[in-house]
Every structure is written in C-alpha cells, then in structure tokens.
Structure 1
Amino acid sequence: MTAVNSAGRVADTGVMTSDATRPTSGTDDTPEGMTVGRIAELVGVSVRTLHHWDDIGLVRPGGRTWAGYRVYSGEDLARVHRVLVYRELGFPLAQIGRILDDPDTDAEDHLHRQRDALEERIARLRRMVDAVDQMLEASKRGIRLSPRRQIEIFGDDWRPEQVEDARRRWGRTPQWEQYAQRAAALSEADWEKVAADTDTLHADLAAARRRGVAPGSPEADALAERHRALMSTYFDCTHSMQVCMGRMFVQDPGYTAYYDRFAPGLARWLSEVLSANAAANGVDPRTAVWE
C-alpha cells in the first residue's frame, strides 16, 4: 500500500511503481531532464534495455525527479547514442563501458573512429545488398542476354522462354540456384564459347552414333565426360545425375526429338552412353538418383 506525506511525495511502502508504467505527460520531459520513457522513444530501444544499462553501470541517468524517477541529461543522451553505435558495430556491453569510461580516451577521436567504422560497415552492407540483388535477378532470369541475342548465339530454334520453363520445373533445387548464379556471371563472350562447345559436342555425338560407337567404349566414355563437363558449366553435375538426364532424354518426347534431330536414335544411344560411363565410375544406373 502507499501513503502520501505532507509534501505530496509518494512514499512506497509495499507497492513499487516503475518508470515504464507511471502516467506520462505530453513529451515526458521534466525540468530536471528527460525520463526513461522519453529516451527510449528518442533512440528506439526499450525501457527495459535502459534499465539494464543503468543496473550494469553502462548508462546511469544523471538525476532523479522529486518523485524519484530516473531523468537523463543531454550528456546522458549522448552517451546512450555512443553505446548504440558501438553495439551496432558488434562490441559487447562490457567492452563498450570500458571504452567510454577510459579517462585517456579522446572523445573527438573516438567519434571519428566510430564514423570510420560505420562507413566501412555501410560499404560492406551495400556490397551484400548488391550481391543479393544480383542473385535475385539471376534467379529470375539466369542468362543476362536479351532474347534476341540469345537466339543469335544459340540458334534459330532456341526459345528464350525455355529458361522460365526450366525455372518453374527446377527452381527450388540446389542445382537451379547454382545455374542461376553461374549463368548471371557469364559474359556474352562466355556464352558464345558455351554455344560453340555445345554445337561441337552434338556434332561429335552424332558422328559417333552414326559410326556405331559402342556405349562403354573409351571413345563413348570420353564423350560422356565431355557432356558432364559441359553440364558442369551450369551446376556440379555428377555421374548419377547424368544417368537421370539420360532417362529424361528417352522418356521426355521433347528431349528425344531434340537429340534425334542430330542423328536418328541419338537420344537413346546417349542415354546408354551416360549409363555405361556412370557404371564405370561406380554408379549403378538402375538405382541412380539425382544427387
């Protein structure tokens, strides 16, 4: 319970009031200074945080109201701001207290160092934002070429919307994330080389198919490794993944038609070539999975 003395002051005799719960008046400022609630509002921290800083001696308000409430001076507020700067830079509270209470510390020099550290952090965060923006753009598009330029490089049968189709199909896989990042990093000259390497591989695959090169032969295995290296331009392609691709070349009519236009039966033959090479590298084609 509480009692009121002759001076009108509240004498706490059992029920404790707090700065956070007492009624406030307008700006919450007093002739003695600013209350804890006002400071919390100004700097964007909680009243509980300010109470904790007071308890550990990090920022102790310089005065009290006639009713016993904490009040902060302008100097106290400046210290709160310095604490916030150091906390943002990752300093632990105990170290911040030692820095601020060091009598040999030059205040202006400290401010300059704080500013330099913040500028460095801002620059680092800006680089991170730029990297995230690039990843977001890559995840949406992948190839940073105009649709017209894509057709010029990859051929008249290239459909730029295939990238979007692939994103819808595999967009949540780690391999798509790798593709998106790597594709976004490739220059126009890089894409021209990729296109040339792809054309050369297709021509060599078709020629081997026409000559009756047997799956599992050294020549066929070399072609399989060239195919894996080409796929690894986009993502880390394993032998097990190649087996899964080979199945898709046979089961998906679109892929079958794509490869068979280079040589009749090329899709099925390539699937067998990839499976035989995977088996030679310790992967059972019958149980291979996408990993």
Structure 2
Amino acid sequence: MEYRVVDVNTLLEQANDPAQRPEVIKALEHILLSSDDGNALAYRQRRDAAQALSKIGHVDAINALILALQDHHAAVRAAAALALGTFNDLRVMDALVNALEDEAESVRIAALQSLNIFETLPYEIIIEHLADESDSVRHHAIDILKKAEKRAMPALLRAMLHPNSTVRGTVADLLGMLKDEATRATLKEAAKQDSSRWVRSRAEAALKQLPPEQFDYPRINRNNYPGLQTQNPIEQMRAQQSSKLVSPQTPAEIQKMLDQLDLRLLNGEISEETYKRLVARWEAKLKDSTD
C-alpha cells in the first residue's frame, strides 16, 4: 500500500481484512505522525488516525501513539492518550503518567481516563492532581483513587502530610469514603492538629463515616470459675439476693424457705439448677438444725 493521505474511515474498513491490517496500521501511523503542511485543519486527520488505531487495538500502534503525545495540537494528544488506554502495557503507563503534566486540560483528563485500566499505579503522582486547577482533572483523579481502595491506602495516608491543604482535605474525604478502620488514627491526628481549619473539618467529617469504634472488653475464662459454667449472671444475682434477704435459723423458717423455693421454681423466677443447689443447701441446714 502506498503511503498517501486517504480517508481514515476507508482504511478502518480495510483493517477488517486480516491480510490488509498490517499495512493499514502503517498507513494510519503515517497519517498520525505527519505534519500540517500549512493546512490548519490537518490535525483532524491525525486525531482520526489515533482513534482508528484505538479501534483496531493492535500493539504495533503503541509506539506511534506514544510519539503522538508530543503533537503540537491538543486534540491529537488527547486522542492519542485515549487510544493508549486500549493497551495494558508498561510503556503505555509511563507515557500516560508523563502526559499528566500536559498543559492542556483535555490531555490530562484523557491520560487519567486511560490510566484507570491499570490495577496498580504510582498513586503519589495521581494524588498530586487532587490539587489540579481543573475540576474535571481532580474528579478523574478521585475516581482512580476510589477504585484502587486498599492499593492506594499507604499513599493516601502519607498524603495527609502533604504541604498542599487542598490535597490533604480531599484525601481526608477519600479516606472517609473508603471507611477503613486503619485510617482512624491518621484522621484523628489531622482533626486535632492540622494547620488548616478546612482540613480539620474534613477529617472530622471523615471520622463520622467510619464504622463505630470497637472496644475489647476483658473476657472471663469460665473454666477457671466452675460456678459460672452452669449459671448465667442474672441467675447468680437472684440466688445471691435470695440468700441475703432471708437467713432462716429455726427448722420452721428453713422449711418455709424450701416451700418458697418450690413456688419460685414454678413461677420461673429461678432456674432448675439454682433450685437444686439452694434446696440441697437448706435441706442440709435443716438436717443439722434437727440433729
């Protein structure tokens, strides 16, 4: 196929034929890396070529698309950045990270959108763009960090010491959204000591989004206290109260106590275990008093 400027859509149709696809890719790369030649609208064809290479999705196009990130027209650079999002390749990640410093908002947004395909990223660099002058860039950076969740957590916690208060406040919001108990200590520190009143307020709001704080209460080893193994605390209290309230001494008083225990068992006031224990106790005392 001879290299010449042709309709990009025509080339894209030809790419459906596997036999022609390698030559189509080369032709599109040629268009993508061509100059304006005095034509102010030539950038449109370069932009369309980047989009076509994205649709074809062949790795042979990666190098040309990376070079296109240096195009003098922002529309071409943005199209190349979006096209690179088709490829999960380390070369692509490095190129897109560099594109985050592009002067054009559209290119930075496109780079962040494409970086979102990667499982692991240099999150410190993404965090820097939480203070970008563009609202859209900041929102795309937030989306990446929210998606990363625990993978981004170490970088987010370190960012609570970032010199830029906008970064610190936005990170505090993110930590609240992630609702991870591991962030509590860092957020408490920021809520008390951050130099920015706004950051302190964001840290306080984030703390309210965390799960309720858990406390570890001391546990009793029931094996060390045989009396607790068959009796719950309420039954213990009732048994103790019954022994303290009445202390019968005479055989008649003891017999009356035994009769009351029968009624309390029938009324469900004491358990059968408690009943047996108290009956055994007072019957033994009754026997002693009659001897």
For the criterion TM > 0.5, the same-fold answer is no
Return the structure number with greater helix share. Answer: 2
* Greater RCO (CA < 8 Å, at least 6 residues apart): 1
Return the structure number with greater strand share. Answer: 1
TM-score by length of 1: 0.33
- Structure number, greater radius of gyration: 2
